[in-house]
Amino acid sequence: MEKIASFTVNHLTLLPGIYVSRKDKVGAEVITTFDLRMTRPNYEPVINTAEIHTLEHLGATFLRNHPEYKEKTIYFGPMGCRTGFYMVLAGDYSSEDVVDLVKEMFAFMKDFEGEVPGACARDCGNYLDMNLPMAKYVAKRYYEEVLENIDASRLSYPD
């Protein structure tokens, strides 16, 4: 079998950033999958499940309520390796195209106050596995260390 595209990325040189993971055609439409890499793979600790689960609820809620992107949002969820998220949008985008959106989303998450959307037994299959204070810490770290001054080296996969 051939390796899937995400397994061809050199995770030993990959830094946190915003990367186009893949583009797929569905009929006449292009679907762009983004790799929102929050931690350096195999060098930094992964994001704990409670934090990543909380960020998933916050990020998905943010995107599905965004005035411009709510109708373009296909999916937002964690990577199995717990080093970041996949954000899937309808449309043909570059990493540069979504920098402002990702900054806005992580500003929302780092500053979020109140009840986490969908964090109850009726709405979520594992609602007890949430940690808002640590999720805010993780979002703030990514925002300040990566997003605030992001440059081209964090917008294209390394060779």
Confidence of residue 56 (pLDDT cuts 50, 70, 90): very high
pLDDT in tens, 4-41: 777 888 899 999 999 999 999 999 999 999 999 999 99
Contact yes or no for 17/9 (Cβ under 8 A): no
The pair of structure tokens assigned to 35 is 């790799």
User: Domain 10-146's class?
Assistant: alpha beta
| Higher-scoring residue by pLDDT: 12, 133 | 133
Domain-by-domain residue ranges, the chain? Answer: 10-146
Contact yes or no for 132/56 (Cβ under 8 A): no
For the whole model, what pTM was predicted?
0.95
pLDDT in tens, 79-119: 999 999 999 999 999 999 999 999 999 999 999 999 999 99
